[in-house]
Structure 1
């Protein structure tokens, strides 16, 4: 499926390229590289030092590295014109080094340099392409067509961009769902892995929400469009993908900015090195020029330039495959520096829906058994339509199906008559005749932050049900992990302080801030920043948006609102908190790998330069050691594609 024009992506722009330029090499340079490599190897089968052998080495150099030469010369000229100052790149250093090796008759070494550098160059591009694949593959999944049901009942295939909110669509077996909507007839199972990373299909029926780009299973259904194609959840995922490819980490950005200055310094030092060699080290001019070429190769920042970008993109790819999308490498890199994490309570640390936690009935002092009470309660709550009723119906099952006429009376709650008695379900404050045992249970549950409703027969309370928005099953594990990393944890909630503290105790959170108005959440984040430093915020609602923006790293829960996803720096495509702790562990690994690469690459440069000055380095060893370090740095970055065990 091709990408619609609304979400086109220029795949030729590899902004993460380590040499600070953008190219689409295609297949031709790769083919020519292997042709050049074959010629290079064949040169060893002719007489050594002959004109034919030298011609073969030069041919190998030109075929394998012509794109290196072009990028070195052309990009340097173009970047210099664009920026108004001399802006060389690493390729120009390699071109000059190969040219210098040829001038002094080291044809084999010049060819070897270009071949290894080109191989490292292609490997890095492969590494970057491999790292991006998990997220850029999403671009190919953007739906383009839909089966629109016309007013006369006929079905017409139309472009997704032509759809309007309220349109009716037919979705057949195996179809890609065109846009977000609601099922109005039929049932099916849908593969939603493109949205939430979950491989197991979800069962869907009338009233359930479906998402654009997901794949329908064996069933067929009719849906109503609820969002414009540019506002779907998948469209927002695509926006994240585009941002993640253009936003580099601070370290990668600094390296890219440093590279032209570093290369300029090397271009200045090499002639000086050659000129002072005979005077300072008593070298001949030929030896000084030779040492100058070795210095040029040794000092080139190839490995340094590859230290951050492949590793960062590998980390982003690793997380994208697991349903965690970052808007850029800088946000992933900065996650390792957080000192405090603030959580919204409802829907983030908790399930977002109340559940029955406790109940108590005075069956000993009444002629009603516990199941009799439950039968009446279920029959009454079936007529209601609110979260507490849903929680009660989910927890209790009736043995007798009672057909009751139920009234929702202001100041009383639900009221019905059954077998000559009046039954009532409502808030505790609606009742006066309350047994001390009921009061004791109510006080206990209230201290635990639970919401209590009473059940009464003929104005006498004979039972109560306690409900609570219970913690997310992973909340305690994630909070414990963060605390083990020395990170302060805070829960922010609009609920009463007592309710918040009750949830906080269950999951072991450090600090609970209750009775918070939506407009005050951002102020709490600022206070946390002053007290602890870098702060991450996790939330899922519209009222979390200001806090997500204020935080150093804003993380939206994928089942949350569009506005939360829009303003966040990262999105957990499923409401799975363990994915946040996993992202943190990947961020820490990224930080370690990047610094390993930087230290190793600079150590190799200093080592080779030092050995060269003392005459302990020849051009062949210099080439192998220098380009080999570049290959190792790239491969070290690719390790971030491997799932973290932390």
Structure 2
């Protein structure tokens, strides 16, 4: 029975988090519940994972100190936002009492009963939840920021600093509200993804069409998508033609053409045509669902800098309490200072030493950056990979399907004899290739379609595939031959002008075919795996970013690799590689240049992806292998996202370092004011709140980082 309980896993969404420290305390409280074997809070995504059998009511009780609301992950609905006055009513009332207190102070004097009562009421109303948690923590000897604030405010009241105690409470409440708002804004970048897919779809079953909830749609159902509608489920087009805006999933700026056989994804927009789509995945398995899940998991992964901050904060808080105690006690005991003055200074040290800004400095940056990357078609699977990506010195690329399109295309067609029209003769070649299953046949047919040649019109008879040589057949009564040199060598009509031109094209890494009649060759075709339009620009952008080494890895022979490499401008080329050779090559680059990223298709490049500092998959939307094997996935098969991801990661590293420096620097400056005795509770709370607001605002700047598009 115990084993069954420990195996039960439940995931909930949490509403009401105000700070990272409070999330940590909530996690500890849930772990202590009966029936719970483990619990993990994902502060970035506002989620809780519980291993065990605790009820929602019990979990909410564990979060009662912060009035948390718990909702099941599946089917969780965002509750309507509370009106500002209701949500912040206590805060507004406290501000009103503080205003009245200062009026009374100036009207009746500093020690007047009306002013003291007004400040006391402001402290009680504005700090009720703060004190409740602070006292409980004090009883358990848990010293978080609420404990420190509680001690400071009570101390201020004891020594008669009523006005400053009240202002400290209000400023702390404002600081927490702003921190909560900042984190909610960062989380909205992912919540907005959840909202892009419709909750219902028009489904045709047994000839009848009806609107059905996506949770009730089954694999194999026929989904009807009208022009201008969003697609609710992943599926395959059965009927219709349209262009679909896939930007929410892949980050592509241009709509993708869809015809029968093409895959479509939930959350994308059908722009112009009528589509009938066969559903291929359940709601929880769609590309958008996987992206959201992986991004939220990524936001929970602690980056190295965050782990450092957490460890530092563990020792920082007790150290601040010790310093505050020494400040309060040593000057009166040994230097003749006034107890009231130095106790006040000690209380101010407690306030300025609150670790709030330090604790929030890293997660707000990580959450914001990962969310922004996902919205722009880059899936980064954890803070650790975000930081690693920002530190890379070299990038290794698989060639086929990464730097190139992965499919052959006709690059050259030359009629060198016979006086034939190029279009007329190419039409006959395409008519013959239309009967073939050879990989190069598709390249010839694509070229014919691009030029609107009527290759389906000619009558093809006696079609024959000559093993190892090529094709032959009668096209409109004329024998046409297409193949390699050996197909024509037997006729003895293959002179040097043909072989010289063939060798010239082969040195460019192209596959060369001859075409002719029974009288000999008339034309020459060359095909090659085309370089992606974006690849050359991407290599240039990486150089602009300071990437010192770009290496192309391929299993192709050296001539082809050299030709493609020269066109791309990569700094090194390694050819004739097996998958295990690619692994060795990546390790060699790492040894020479340091942290290295490997970009591949996520299947045959898996060993090299795993060995690299960061494995980056050209993962077309919904490609499970790419999502699972790589640390980073470029969702639209779009290499242009790579410079954006590296730039975003580098900016994140800079901002994290800035945030840690801001958080500690402001506090250090405030603490130095203790030496001349100038530190006040006002300055202390402004230093703490200022640092918190500064690091959150600085972290949110990462939402503005966008991909640089060519003009």
Structure 1 length-normalised TM: 0.89
**Would you say the 8 A contact 1:450–1:467 is kept in 2?**
yes
**Corresponding residue for 2:614?**
553
- Aligned pair partner of 2:395 in 341, 345, 352: 341
Residue 157 of structure 1 deviates from its aligned partner by: 5.1
**Corresponding residue for 1:44?**
102
Distance (Å, rounded) in 2 between the aligned partners of 1:612 and 1:578: 53
Residue 75 of structure 1 deviates from its aligned partner by: 6.2
Residue 589 of structure 1 deviates from its aligned partner by: 1.3
- Aligned pair partner of 1:501 in 542, 562, 566: 562
**Corresponding residue for 2:43?**
none
Deviates most, 167-176 or 474-483: 167-176
Indicate how the Cα distance of structure 1 residues 596 and 66 shifts in structure 2: closer, same or farther if over 3 A, else same: same
Distance (Å, rounded) in 2 between the aligned partners of 1:8 and 1:197: 29
Indicate how the Cα distance of structure 1 residues 224 and 7 shifts in structure 2: closer, same or farther if over 3 A, else same: farther
* Secondary structure, aligned partner of 1:587: helix
**Corresponding residue for 2:632?**
570
Superposed CA offset, 1:61-112 (max 9, x none): 33333333344455677xx7xxxxx653222212222222222111221222
Residue 229 of structure 1 deviates from its aligned partner by: 4.3
Q: Any residues of structure 2 matched to 1:198-209 within 5 Å, and which?
A: 198=252, 200-209=254-263
1:490 maps onto 2:545 in alignment: no
* Secondary structure, aligned partner of 2:498: helix
- Aligned pair partner of 2:442 in 390, 397, 400: 390
**Corresponding residue for 1:243?**
297
* Secondary structure, aligned partner of 2:191: helix
**Corresponding residue for 2:318?**
264
**Would you say the 8 A contact 1:101–1:110 is kept in 2?**
yes
Distance (Å, rounded) in 2 between the aligned partners of 1:516 and 1:16: 51
Distance (Å, rounded) in 1 between the aligned partners of 2:176 and 2:551: 46
1:515 maps onto 2:576 in alignment: yes
Superposed CA offset, 1:420-472 (max 9, x none): 54211123343314232221121112111112222122162222111222222
Deviates most, 532-541 or 383-392: 383-392
**Would you say the 8 A contact 2:662–2:694 is kept in 1?**
no
1:129 maps onto 2:184 in alignment: yes
* Secondary structure, aligned partner of 1:411: coil
**Would you say the 8 A contact 1:338–1:487 is kept in 2?**
no
- Aligned pair partner of 2:532 in 465, 472, 477: 472
Q: Any residues of structure 2 matched to 1:279-290 within 5 Å, and which?
A: 279-290=333-344
**Corresponding residue for 1:83?**
none
Indicate how the Cα distance of structure 1 residues 293 and 183 shifts in structure 2: closer, same or farther if over 3 A, else same: same
Q: Any residues of structure 2 matched to 1:518-597 within 5 Å, and which?
A: 518-559=579-620, 561-597=623-659
Residue 228 of structure 1 deviates from its aligned partner by: 4.6
Indicate how the Cα distance of structure 1 residues 16 and 193 shifts in structure 2: closer, same or farther if over 3 A, else same: farther
Q: Any residues of structure 2 matched to 1:140-179 within 5 Å, and which?
A: 140-141=195-196, 144-150=199-205, 152-155=206-209, 158=212, 160=214, 163-173=217-227, 175-179=229-233
Indicate how the Cα distance of structure 1 residues 617 and 227 shifts in structure 2: closer, same or farther if over 3 A, else same: closer
* Secondary structure, aligned partner of 1:352: strand
**Corresponding residue for 1:12?**
15
**Corresponding residue for 1:62?**
124
1:614 maps onto 2:676 in alignment: yes
Residue 173 of structure 1 deviates from its aligned partner by: 4.8
**Corresponding residue for 2:408?**
354
**Corresponding residue for 2:484?**
427
- Aligned pair partner of 1:110 in 157, 165, 172: 165
* Structure number with higher relative contact order (C-alpha < 8 Å, ≥ 6 residues apart): 1
Q: Any residues of structure 2 matched to 1:81-120 within 5 Å, and which?
A: 87-120=142-175
Distance (Å, rounded) in 1 between the aligned partners of 2:519 and 2:95: 94
Distance (Å, rounded) in 1 between the aligned partners of 2:18 and 2:529: 45
Distance (Å, rounded) in 2 between the aligned partners of 1:625 and 1:299: 9
Distance (Å, rounded) in 2 between the aligned partners of 1:477 and 1:335: 20
**Corresponding residue for 1:33?**
91
* Secondary structure, aligned partner of 1:555: strand
**Would you say the 8 A contact 2:134–2:147 is kept in 1?**
yes
1:223 maps onto 2:281 in alignment: no
Identify unmatched segments of 5+ residues in structure 2.
1-8, 27-65, 70-80
**Would you say the 8 A contact 1:131–1:316 is kept in 2?**
no
- Aligned pair partner of 1:380 in 409, 424, 432: 432
**Corresponding residue for 2:309?**
255
* Secondary structure, aligned partner of 1:325: strand
Distance (Å, rounded) in 2 between the aligned partners of 1:514 and 1:15: 55
* Secondary structure, aligned partner of 1:170: strand
Superposed CA offset, 1:302-330 (max 9, x none): 33223222222222233223222222222
Distance (Å, rounded) in 1 between the aligned partners of 2:486 and 2:166: 89
Residue 251 of structure 1 deviates from its aligned partner by: 1.1
Distance (Å, rounded) in 2 between the aligned partners of 1:87 and 1:385: 73
- Number of residue pairs the alignment of both structures matches: 631
Residue 412 of structure 1 deviates from its aligned partner by: 3.4
**Would you say the 8 A contact 2:251–2:375 is kept in 1?**
yes
Distance (Å, rounded) in 1 between the aligned partners of 2:697 and 2:447: 53
* Secondary structure, aligned partner of 2:677: coil
Identify unmatched segments of 5+ residues in structure 1.
1-5, 81-85
1:460 maps onto 2:463 in alignment: no
Deviates most, 497-506 or 511-520: 511-520
**Would you say the 8 A contact 1:186–1:206 is kept in 2?**
yes
Residue 536 of structure 1 deviates from its aligned partner by: 1.4
RMSD: 2.9
**Would you say the 8 A contact 1:89–1:260 is kept in 2?**
no
Deviates most, 244-253 or 173-182: 173-182
Residue 583 of structure 1 deviates from its aligned partner by: 1.4
Distance (Å, rounded) in 2 between the aligned partners of 1:613 and 1:598: 24
